[in-house]
Structure 1
Amino acid sequence: MDAIAIIERGKLSLETGITPKPVKHSSMKSLYPKTYHLRHRRQGLIVFVTMSLMILGVSFPAFLFTPIGDAMRAFAEPLRQIGIVTPLMQGPIDSGVTAQLKSHPMVARAIPAVELEMVVQVPPLAWPISIYGVTENDLKELLTLFSVHVQEGRLPRPNANEVVLSEAMALNRELNVGDRIGQPVNEDDPNIRTEMEIVGILSPTNTGNDLWLGFASYEYLTSHELYVSHSIHMLTIPQGGQKAGMDAFLREEVNPDLIEAYTYD
Protein backbone atom coordinates (compact mmCIF):
# COMPACT_ATOMS: atom_id res chain seq x y z
CA MET A 1 0.00 0.00 0.00
CA ASP A 2 1.18 3.50 -0.74
CA ALA A 3 1.07 6.34 1.77
CA ILE A 4 -2.24 7.70 0.53
CA ALA A 5 -3.98 4.35 0.86
CA ILE A 6 -2.52 3.82 4.36
CA ILE A 7 -3.81 7.18 5.56
CA GLU A 8 -7.24 6.46 4.10
CA ARG A 9 -7.41 3.18 5.99
CA GLY A 10 -6.44 4.81 9.34
CA LYS A 11 -3.16 2.96 9.66
CA LEU A 12 -1.21 5.99 10.89
CA SER A 13 -3.54 6.74 13.75
CA LEU A 14 -1.08 5.35 16.35
CA GLU A 15 1.64 7.74 15.24
CA THR A 16 -0.48 10.83 14.99
CA GLY A 17 -2.89 10.17 17.77
CA ILE A 18 -5.66 11.16 15.38
CA THR A 19 -7.95 8.61 13.95
CA PRO A 20 -8.99 9.77 10.48
CA LYS A 21 -12.43 9.04 9.25
CA PRO A 22 -12.22 5.96 7.06
CA VAL A 23 -13.35 6.47 3.48
CA LYS A 24 -15.97 4.24 2.01
CA HIS A 25 -13.99 3.47 -1.10
CA SER A 26 -10.25 3.12 -1.31
CA SER A 27 -7.99 1.43 -3.79
CA MET A 28 -4.95 -0.75 -3.43
CA LYS A 29 -4.09 0.56 -6.92
CA SER A 30 -3.87 4.23 -6.10
CA LEU A 31 -1.45 5.01 -8.91
CA TYR A 32 -3.73 3.67 -11.62
CA PRO A 33 -4.93 6.40 -14.03
CA LYS A 34 -8.54 5.95 -12.97
CA THR A 35 -7.66 6.28 -9.27
CA TYR A 36 -5.50 9.32 -9.92
CA HIS A 37 -8.26 10.95 -11.93
CA LEU A 38 -10.86 10.38 -9.23
CA ARG A 39 -8.60 11.95 -6.57
CA HIS A 40 -7.27 14.78 -8.72
CA ARG A 41 -10.08 15.64 -11.08
CA ARG A 42 -8.84 19.10 -12.07
CA GLN A 43 -5.24 18.02 -12.67
CA GLY A 44 -6.48 14.95 -14.50
CA LEU A 45 -8.61 17.06 -16.82
CA ILE A 46 -5.66 19.31 -17.64
CA VAL A 47 -3.45 16.30 -18.38
CA PHE A 48 -6.17 14.73 -20.54
CA VAL A 49 -6.73 17.90 -22.58
CA THR A 50 -2.99 18.46 -23.03
CA MET A 51 -2.39 14.91 -24.22
CA SER A 52 -5.39 15.07 -26.55
CA LEU A 53 -4.09 18.25 -28.16
CA MET A 54 -0.65 16.72 -28.59
CA ILE A 55 -2.09 13.62 -30.25
CA LEU A 56 -4.33 15.75 -32.45
CA GLY A 57 -1.39 17.95 -33.44
CA VAL A 58 0.50 14.90 -34.68
CA SER A 59 -2.32 12.87 -36.21
CA PHE A 60 -4.38 15.58 -37.91
CA PRO A 61 -1.66 16.75 -40.34
CA ALA A 62 -0.96 13.12 -41.24
CA PHE A 63 -4.69 12.49 -41.73
CA LEU A 64 -4.99 15.61 -43.88
CA PHE A 65 -1.84 15.49 -45.99
CA THR A 66 -1.36 11.76 -46.58
CA PRO A 67 -4.27 11.53 -49.08
CA ILE A 68 -3.05 14.72 -50.78
CA GLY A 69 0.48 13.33 -51.10
CA ASP A 70 -0.86 10.06 -52.51
CA ALA A 71 -2.97 11.99 -55.03
CA MET A 72 -0.07 14.15 -56.17
CA ARG A 73 2.06 11.08 -56.82
CA ALA A 74 -0.77 9.54 -58.83
CA PHE A 75 -1.26 12.73 -60.84
CA ALA A 76 2.47 12.79 -61.68
CA GLU A 77 2.47 9.16 -62.85
CA PRO A 78 2.39 10.07 -66.60
CA LEU A 79 5.77 11.75 -66.15
CA ARG A 80 7.26 8.29 -65.64
CA GLN A 81 6.77 7.75 -69.39
CA ILE A 82 7.00 11.24 -70.91
CA GLY A 83 8.46 14.70 -70.39
CA ILE A 84 6.37 17.83 -70.82
CA VAL A 85 7.88 20.96 -72.34
CA THR A 86 5.88 24.17 -71.90
CA PRO A 87 6.63 27.54 -73.55
CA LEU A 88 7.04 30.47 -71.19
CA MET A 89 5.41 32.75 -73.76
CA GLN A 90 1.95 32.34 -75.23
CA GLY A 91 1.78 30.34 -78.43
CA PRO A 92 3.94 27.53 -79.80
CA ILE A 93 7.37 26.55 -78.54
CA ASP A 94 10.30 28.36 -80.15
CA SER A 95 11.16 26.69 -83.46
CA GLY A 96 14.80 26.28 -82.44
CA VAL A 97 13.75 24.45 -79.26
CA THR A 98 11.38 22.26 -81.26
CA ALA A 99 14.19 21.30 -83.62
CA GLN A 100 16.47 20.61 -80.65
CA LEU A 101 13.88 18.29 -79.10
CA LYS A 102 13.17 16.36 -82.29
CA SER A 103 16.83 15.87 -83.17
CA HIS A 104 18.11 14.74 -79.79
CA PRO A 105 19.17 11.06 -79.80
CA MET A 106 17.38 10.31 -76.53
CA VAL A 107 14.03 11.70 -77.76
CA ALA A 108 11.99 9.28 -79.86
CA ARG A 109 9.03 11.63 -80.45
CA ALA A 110 8.01 15.19 -79.64
CA ILE A 111 4.23 15.44 -79.82
CA PRO A 112 2.54 18.87 -80.01
CA ALA A 113 -0.38 19.17 -77.59
CA VAL A 114 -2.86 21.78 -76.40
CA GLU A 115 -3.69 21.52 -72.71
CA LEU A 116 -7.09 21.87 -71.06
CA GLU A 117 -7.72 21.29 -67.37
CA MET A 118 -10.58 19.45 -65.68
CA VAL A 119 -10.99 19.83 -61.93
CA VAL A 120 -11.19 16.73 -59.69
CA GLN A 121 -11.88 16.61 -55.97
CA VAL A 122 -9.26 15.48 -53.46
CA PRO A 123 -10.76 16.71 -50.16
CA PRO A 124 -10.20 19.25 -48.84
CA LEU A 125 -8.85 20.59 -52.14
CA ALA A 126 -9.71 20.62 -55.84
CA TRP A 127 -7.00 19.74 -58.36
CA PRO A 128 -6.72 20.45 -62.11
CA ILE A 129 -6.00 17.40 -64.28
CA SER A 130 -4.68 17.76 -67.82
CA ILE A 131 -6.67 16.96 -70.94
CA TYR A 132 -4.30 17.06 -73.92
CA GLY A 133 -5.48 17.82 -77.41
CA VAL A 134 -3.40 15.64 -79.75
CA THR A 135 -3.82 14.25 -83.24
CA GLU A 136 -5.50 10.90 -83.80
CA ASN A 137 -2.26 9.08 -84.62
CA ASP A 138 -0.40 10.62 -81.68
CA LEU A 139 -3.23 9.64 -79.34
CA LYS A 140 -2.96 6.00 -80.34
CA GLU A 141 0.77 6.06 -79.63
CA LEU A 142 0.21 7.65 -76.21
CA LEU A 143 -2.41 5.08 -75.25
CA THR A 144 0.06 2.31 -76.03
CA LEU A 145 2.77 4.10 -74.05
CA PHE A 146 0.50 4.53 -71.00
CA SER A 147 -0.85 0.96 -71.30
CA VAL A 148 -4.50 1.98 -71.42
CA HIS A 149 -7.34 1.03 -73.74
CA VAL A 150 -10.86 2.22 -74.47
CA GLN A 151 -13.03 0.48 -71.90
CA GLU A 152 -16.25 2.11 -73.04
CA GLY A 153 -17.16 4.26 -76.04
CA ARG A 154 -14.56 5.43 -78.56
CA LEU A 155 -11.77 7.95 -79.15
CA PRO A 156 -12.44 11.60 -80.08
CA ARG A 157 -12.83 12.40 -83.77
CA PRO A 158 -10.61 15.05 -85.37
CA ASN A 159 -12.16 18.55 -85.33
CA ALA A 160 -14.89 17.47 -82.88
CA ASN A 161 -15.64 18.86 -79.41
CA GLU A 162 -15.13 15.44 -77.85
CA VAL A 163 -12.96 14.08 -75.05
CA VAL A 164 -11.95 10.71 -73.68
CA LEU A 165 -11.26 10.52 -69.94
CA SER A 166 -9.42 8.03 -67.79
CA GLU A 167 -11.57 5.85 -65.59
CA ALA A 168 -10.13 7.51 -62.47
CA MET A 169 -11.19 10.97 -63.66
CA ALA A 170 -14.66 9.82 -64.64
CA LEU A 171 -15.26 8.08 -61.31
CA ASN A 172 -14.03 11.10 -59.36
CA ARG A 173 -16.52 13.37 -61.09
CA GLU A 174 -19.25 10.73 -61.49
CA LEU A 175 -19.20 11.16 -65.26
CA ASN A 176 -20.29 8.72 -67.97
CA VAL A 177 -20.10 8.43 -71.73
CA GLY A 178 -22.53 10.98 -73.18
CA ASP A 179 -22.09 13.51 -70.36
CA ARG A 180 -20.65 16.95 -71.05
CA ILE A 181 -17.99 19.00 -69.32
CA GLY A 182 -16.83 22.58 -69.76
CA GLN A 183 -18.75 25.83 -69.96
CA PRO A 184 -21.54 26.63 -69.72
CA VAL A 185 -22.74 23.20 -68.52
CA ASN A 186 -20.18 22.98 -65.71
CA GLU A 187 -18.71 26.07 -64.10
CA ASP A 188 -16.18 23.92 -62.20
CA ASP A 189 -14.04 23.79 -65.35
CA PRO A 190 -13.28 27.43 -66.28
CA ASN A 191 -10.33 26.35 -68.44
CA ILE A 192 -12.65 24.38 -70.74
CA ARG A 193 -14.44 27.21 -72.50
CA THR A 194 -16.76 25.15 -74.70
CA GLU A 195 -18.98 22.14 -74.13
CA MET A 196 -17.04 18.93 -74.60
CA GLU A 197 -18.83 15.60 -74.90
CA ILE A 198 -17.35 12.56 -73.19
CA VAL A 199 -17.21 9.87 -75.88
CA GLY A 200 -14.96 7.32 -74.20
CA ILE A 201 -13.53 6.01 -70.93
CA LEU A 202 -9.95 4.71 -70.68
CA SER A 203 -8.95 1.83 -68.44
CA PRO A 204 -5.50 0.38 -67.61
CA THR A 205 -4.61 -2.59 -69.79
CA ASN A 206 -2.75 -4.23 -66.91
CA THR A 207 -3.35 -3.96 -63.20
CA GLY A 208 -1.35 -1.02 -61.97
CA ASN A 209 -1.56 2.65 -61.20
CA ASP A 210 -4.55 4.59 -62.49
CA LEU A 211 -3.96 7.09 -65.26
CA TRP A 212 -5.11 10.64 -64.51
CA LEU A 213 -5.25 12.11 -68.02
CA GLY A 214 -7.78 12.93 -70.69
CA PHE A 215 -7.47 13.56 -74.42
CA ALA A 216 -9.21 15.72 -77.00
CA SER A 217 -8.81 16.66 -80.67
CA TYR A 218 -5.75 18.77 -81.49
CA GLU A 219 -7.40 20.02 -84.66
CA TYR A 220 -10.51 21.20 -82.80
CA LEU A 221 -8.58 23.09 -80.12
CA THR A 222 -6.10 24.78 -82.48
CA SER A 223 -8.86 25.97 -84.80
CA HIS A 224 -11.41 27.20 -82.23
CA GLU A 225 -11.31 30.93 -81.48
CA LEU A 226 -11.69 30.38 -77.73
CA TYR A 227 -8.55 28.24 -77.58
CA VAL A 228 -6.19 30.05 -79.95
CA SER A 229 -4.52 31.75 -76.98
CA HIS A 230 -3.60 28.40 -75.40
CA SER A 231 0.06 27.45 -75.51
CA ILE A 232 1.18 24.46 -77.54
CA HIS A 233 3.23 22.07 -75.42
CA MET A 234 5.50 19.24 -76.43
CA LEU A 235 5.06 15.77 -74.96
CA THR A 236 8.44 14.10 -75.32
CA ILE A 237 8.70 10.32 -75.56
CA PRO A 238 12.13 8.82 -74.77
CA GLN A 239 14.00 6.23 -76.73
CA GLY A 240 13.91 2.82 -75.08
CA GLY A 241 15.65 2.88 -71.71
CA GLN A 242 16.59 6.56 -72.06
CA LYS A 243 13.99 8.22 -69.81
CA ALA A 244 16.49 9.40 -67.18
CA GLY A 245 18.85 10.69 -69.85
CA MET A 246 16.04 12.51 -71.66
CA ASP A 247 14.87 14.10 -68.41
CA ALA A 248 18.38 15.35 -67.70
CA PHE A 249 18.58 16.79 -71.22
CA LEU A 250 15.27 18.63 -70.80
CA ARG A 251 16.25 20.07 -67.43
CA GLU A 252 19.85 20.99 -68.19
CA GLU A 253 20.30 21.62 -71.91
CA VAL A 254 17.10 23.19 -73.23
CA ASN A 255 17.03 26.99 -72.88
CA PRO A 256 15.24 27.74 -69.56
CA ASP A 257 14.51 31.29 -70.75
CA LEU A 258 12.18 29.89 -73.40
CA ILE A 259 10.58 26.81 -71.84
CA GLU A 260 9.82 25.03 -68.61
CA ALA A 261 10.42 21.29 -68.51
CA TYR A 262 8.42 18.90 -66.32
CA THR A 263 10.02 15.55 -65.57
CA TYR A 264 9.61 12.76 -63.02
CA ASP A 265 12.23 13.06 -60.28
Structure 2
Amino acid sequence: MKNISAIGFDLFNTLVMAKPDTLTRAFPRLQQSLAQNGLCPEEDAFKKAYYNAAVMFVKQAREDGKETHNRFWISAALENFGYHVSPDDPRIATAIEAYFSAFYDSCYCVPGARTMLERLKDRYQLGLLSNFTHWPAALEIIDRLELEAFFEIRLISGKLGYRKPHGEVFEELIGRLGAPRDEIMYVGDDVDADVNGAIAAGIQPVWFTYVLDHKPPIPALMSPSETDEPHESVPRISQWSEFPALLKGS
Protein backbone atom coordinates (compact mmCIF):
# COMPACT_ATOMS: atom_id res chain seq x y z
CA MET A 1 0.00 0.00 0.00
CA LYS A 2 1.34 3.42 -0.97
CA ASN A 3 2.33 5.74 1.84
CA ILE A 4 -0.74 7.20 3.51
CA SER A 5 -0.59 10.73 4.90
CA ALA A 6 -4.27 11.42 5.64
CA ILE A 7 -7.14 9.29 6.92
CA GLY A 8 -10.87 9.97 6.88
CA PHE A 9 -13.29 8.15 9.16
CA ASP A 10 -16.98 7.45 9.22
CA LEU A 11 -18.63 8.07 12.61
CA PHE A 12 -21.48 5.72 13.54
CA ASN A 13 -20.70 1.99 13.67
CA THR A 14 -17.08 2.87 12.93
CA LEU A 15 -15.90 5.08 15.78
CA VAL A 16 -19.12 5.46 17.76
CA MET A 17 -22.03 3.18 18.63
CA ALA A 18 -25.52 3.96 19.87
CA LYS A 19 -27.19 1.79 22.51
CA PRO A 20 -30.04 -0.34 21.14
CA ASP A 21 -32.77 1.58 22.98
CA THR A 22 -31.63 5.01 21.75
CA LEU A 23 -34.43 5.55 19.25
CA THR A 24 -37.11 4.12 21.53
CA ARG A 25 -36.09 6.68 24.16
CA ALA A 26 -35.75 9.50 21.64
CA PHE A 27 -39.18 9.34 20.06
CA PRO A 28 -41.25 9.94 23.24
CA ARG A 29 -39.16 13.06 23.86
CA LEU A 30 -40.09 14.31 20.41
CA GLN A 31 -43.78 13.62 20.99
CA GLN A 32 -43.75 15.23 24.42
CA SER A 33 -42.13 18.36 23.03
CA LEU A 34 -44.71 18.63 20.26
CA ALA A 35 -47.54 18.12 22.76
CA GLN A 36 -46.17 20.86 25.00
CA ASN A 37 -46.43 23.17 22.00
CA GLY A 38 -50.00 22.26 21.14
CA LEU A 39 -49.33 19.58 18.54
CA CYS A 40 -50.99 16.46 19.92
CA PRO A 41 -51.65 13.73 17.34
CA GLU A 42 -52.47 10.25 18.63
CA GLU A 43 -49.15 8.79 19.72
CA ASP A 44 -49.05 5.40 17.98
CA ALA A 45 -50.54 6.73 14.75
CA PHE A 46 -48.10 9.64 14.70
CA LYS A 47 -45.14 7.34 15.31
CA LYS A 48 -46.17 5.23 12.32
CA ALA A 49 -46.67 8.34 10.16
CA TYR A 50 -43.27 9.70 11.21
CA TYR A 51 -41.41 6.52 10.32
CA ASN A 52 -43.28 6.21 7.03
CA ALA A 53 -42.22 9.76 6.19
CA ALA A 54 -38.65 9.00 7.24
CA VAL A 55 -38.49 5.98 4.93
CA MET A 56 -39.81 8.05 2.03
CA PHE A 57 -37.41 10.96 2.53
CA VAL A 58 -34.38 8.75 3.18
CA LYS A 59 -35.12 6.71 0.06
CA GLN A 60 -35.17 9.92 -1.96
CA ALA A 61 -31.94 11.09 -0.32
CA ARG A 62 -30.19 7.86 -1.23
CA GLU A 63 -31.35 8.20 -4.81
CA ASP A 64 -30.31 11.81 -5.43
CA GLY A 65 -27.58 12.19 -2.82
CA LYS A 66 -29.15 15.26 -1.20
CA GLU A 67 -29.37 14.93 2.57
CA THR A 68 -32.76 15.01 4.22
CA HIS A 69 -33.63 16.17 7.73
CA ASN A 70 -35.96 15.11 10.52
CA ARG A 71 -37.85 18.41 10.32
CA PHE A 72 -39.30 17.36 6.96
CA TRP A 73 -40.39 14.01 8.37
CA ILE A 74 -42.14 15.65 11.32
CA SER A 75 -43.90 18.20 9.12
CA ALA A 76 -45.08 15.51 6.71
CA ALA A 77 -46.29 13.28 9.54
CA LEU A 78 -48.23 16.11 11.18
CA GLU A 79 -50.05 16.77 7.90
CA ASN A 80 -51.78 13.41 8.35
CA PHE A 81 -53.50 14.80 11.44
CA GLY A 82 -54.52 18.17 10.08
CA TYR A 83 -51.55 20.12 11.43
CA HIS A 84 -50.13 22.29 8.65
CA VAL A 85 -46.77 23.13 10.16
CA SER A 86 -43.75 24.28 8.16
CA PRO A 87 -40.55 22.23 8.55
CA ASP A 88 -38.92 25.47 9.71
CA ASP A 89 -41.46 26.09 12.47
CA PRO A 90 -39.68 26.67 15.82
CA ARG A 91 -41.93 24.07 17.47
CA ILE A 92 -40.45 21.44 15.19
CA ALA A 93 -36.93 22.72 15.88
CA THR A 94 -37.54 22.35 19.62
CA ALA A 95 -38.89 18.83 19.16
CA ILE A 96 -35.82 17.85 17.15
CA GLU A 97 -33.50 19.01 19.92
CA ALA A 98 -35.55 16.99 22.40
CA TYR A 99 -35.33 13.93 20.15
CA PHE A 100 -31.57 14.03 19.75
CA SER A 101 -30.98 14.70 23.44
CA ALA A 102 -31.54 10.96 23.91
CA PHE A 103 -28.40 10.28 21.89
CA TYR A 104 -26.09 12.22 24.16
CA ASP A 105 -26.01 9.69 26.99
CA SER A 106 -26.55 6.69 24.71
CA CYS A 107 -23.47 6.84 22.51
CA TYR A 108 -20.12 5.28 23.27
CA CYS A 109 -16.85 4.64 21.46
CA VAL A 110 -16.28 1.43 19.55
CA PRO A 111 -13.75 -0.66 21.51
CA GLY A 112 -10.21 0.38 20.67
CA ALA A 113 -11.22 3.49 18.72
CA ARG A 114 -9.84 6.06 21.13
CA THR A 115 -6.53 4.22 21.58
CA MET A 116 -6.19 3.95 17.82
CA LEU A 117 -6.85 7.67 17.29
CA GLU A 118 -4.34 8.62 19.97
CA ARG A 119 -1.69 6.58 18.16
CA LEU A 120 -2.46 8.18 14.80
CA LYS A 121 -3.05 11.83 15.64
CA ASP A 122 0.60 12.91 15.48
CA ARG A 123 1.44 10.95 12.33
CA TYR A 124 -1.54 11.55 10.06
CA GLN A 125 -3.97 14.26 9.11
CA LEU A 126 -7.31 12.94 10.41
CA GLY A 127 -10.75 13.88 9.18
CA LEU A 128 -14.31 12.85 9.93
CA LEU A 129 -17.05 12.46 7.32
CA SER A 130 -20.42 11.25 8.57
CA ASN A 131 -23.95 10.82 7.27
CA PHE A 132 -26.12 12.36 9.97
CA THR A 133 -29.21 14.46 9.38
CA HIS A 134 -28.95 16.87 12.32
CA TRP A 135 -25.37 18.07 12.27
CA PRO A 136 -25.39 19.94 15.63
CA ALA A 137 -26.26 16.66 17.37
CA ALA A 138 -23.40 14.84 15.64
CA LEU A 139 -20.92 17.49 16.78
CA GLU A 140 -22.35 17.35 20.31
CA ILE A 141 -21.86 13.58 20.41
CA ILE A 142 -18.27 13.96 19.22
CA ASP A 143 -17.67 16.61 21.88
CA ARG A 144 -19.23 14.60 24.72
CA LEU A 145 -17.14 11.57 23.82
CA GLU A 146 -14.04 13.81 23.79
CA LEU A 147 -13.16 12.94 20.21
CA GLU A 148 -13.06 16.48 18.82
CA ALA A 149 -9.35 16.92 19.57
CA PHE A 150 -8.46 14.17 17.10
CA PHE A 151 -10.15 15.82 14.12
CA GLU A 152 -9.37 19.21 12.65
CA ILE A 153 -11.88 18.35 9.94
CA ARG A 154 -15.41 17.34 10.94
CA LEU A 155 -17.84 17.09 8.03
CA ILE A 156 -21.48 16.13 8.59
CA SER A 157 -23.89 15.48 5.72
CA GLY A 158 -26.67 17.47 7.36
CA LYS A 159 -24.54 20.60 7.09
CA LEU A 160 -22.97 19.82 3.72
CA GLY A 161 -26.35 19.24 2.08
CA TYR A 162 -25.25 15.99 0.45
CA ARG A 163 -24.67 12.54 1.88
CA LYS A 164 -22.25 9.73 1.15
CA PRO A 165 -21.63 8.21 -1.34
CA HIS A 166 -22.23 11.45 -3.28
CA GLY A 167 -19.00 12.74 -4.75
CA GLU A 168 -19.62 16.24 -3.39
CA VAL A 169 -18.94 15.20 0.21
CA PHE A 170 -15.84 13.18 -0.61
CA GLU A 171 -14.45 16.05 -2.67
CA GLU A 172 -14.97 18.31 0.33
CA LEU A 173 -13.08 15.86 2.54
CA ILE A 174 -10.24 15.50 0.04
CA GLY A 175 -9.93 19.25 -0.37
CA ARG A 176 -9.91 19.87 3.37
CA LEU A 177 -7.35 17.13 4.03
CA GLY A 178 -5.07 18.72 1.45
CA ALA A 179 -3.28 15.50 0.53
CA PRO A 180 -2.95 13.77 -2.85
CA ARG A 181 -5.78 11.31 -3.47
CA ASP A 182 -3.45 8.34 -3.54
CA GLU A 183 -2.27 9.23 -0.03
CA ILE A 184 -5.76 9.37 1.48
CA MET A 185 -7.48 6.44 3.17
CA TYR A 186 -11.14 6.35 4.20
CA VAL A 187 -12.51 3.89 6.78
CA GLY A 188 -16.18 3.06 7.22
CA ASP A 189 -18.64 0.26 7.84
CA ASP A 190 -21.17 0.83 5.05
CA VAL A 191 -20.25 -0.72 1.71
CA ASP A 192 -22.29 1.63 -0.43
CA ALA A 193 -21.78 4.91 1.42
CA ASP A 194 -18.20 4.42 2.61
CA VAL A 195 -16.39 1.85 0.49
CA ASN A 196 -18.01 2.56 -2.86
CA GLY A 197 -18.00 6.29 -2.19
CA ALA A 198 -14.27 6.25 -1.47
CA ILE A 199 -13.53 4.17 -4.56
CA ALA A 200 -15.50 6.55 -6.77
CA ALA A 201 -13.58 9.48 -5.28
CA GLY A 202 -10.24 7.85 -6.07
CA ILE A 203 -9.11 7.29 -2.48
CA GLN A 204 -8.21 4.09 -0.63
CA PRO A 205 -11.19 2.47 1.13
CA VAL A 206 -11.03 0.28 4.21
CA TRP A 207 -14.11 -1.73 5.16
CA PHE A 208 -14.65 -1.77 8.94
CA THR A 209 -16.76 -4.81 9.81
CA TYR A 210 -17.00 -4.64 13.60
CA VAL A 211 -20.81 -4.53 13.56
CA LEU A 212 -21.10 -7.21 10.89
CA ASP A 213 -18.68 -9.59 12.60
CA HIS A 214 -19.31 -8.98 16.30
CA LYS A 215 -23.02 -8.13 16.10
CA PRO A 216 -23.24 -5.71 19.02
CA PRO A 217 -26.80 -4.62 19.83
CA ILE A 218 -27.60 -1.41 17.94
CA PRO A 219 -30.79 0.39 16.89
CA ALA A 220 -32.24 -1.43 13.89
CA LEU A 221 -32.60 1.78 11.90
CA MET A 222 -28.90 2.53 12.35
CA SER A 223 -27.66 -0.72 10.82
CA PRO A 224 -25.44 -0.58 7.71
CA SER A 225 -27.31 -0.77 4.41
CA GLU A 226 -27.62 -4.25 2.94
CA THR A 227 -25.25 -4.30 -0.01
CA ASP A 228 -23.06 -6.93 -1.63
CA GLU A 229 -19.60 -7.23 -0.12
CA PRO A 230 -16.92 -5.17 -1.85
CA HIS A 231 -14.26 -6.68 -4.07
CA GLU A 232 -11.77 -8.84 -2.20
CA SER A 233 -9.05 -6.30 -2.98
CA VAL A 234 -10.64 -3.85 -0.53
CA PRO A 235 -8.89 -4.15 2.86
CA ARG A 236 -11.18 -5.35 5.63
CA ILE A 237 -10.68 -5.02 9.37
CA SER A 238 -12.96 -6.39 12.07
CA GLN A 239 -11.59 -4.39 15.01
CA TRP A 240 -9.29 -1.45 15.56
CA SER A 241 -6.40 -3.56 16.80
CA GLU A 242 -6.01 -4.78 13.20
CA PHE A 243 -5.64 -1.29 11.75
CA PRO A 244 -1.93 -0.64 12.43
CA ALA A 245 -0.94 -3.53 10.18
CA LEU A 246 -2.61 -1.78 7.23
CA LEU A 247 -0.67 1.37 7.93
CA LYS A 248 2.68 -0.30 8.38
CA GLY A 249 5.25 1.46 6.29
CA SER A 250 3.00 4.42 5.48
TM-score category, normalised to shorter length: under 0.3
Higher helix residue share: 2
> Based on CA coordinates, which of the two structures has the bigger radius of gyration?
1
TM-score (norm 2): 0.23
More strand by percentage: 1
* TM-score of the aligned structures, taking structure 1 as reference length: 0.22
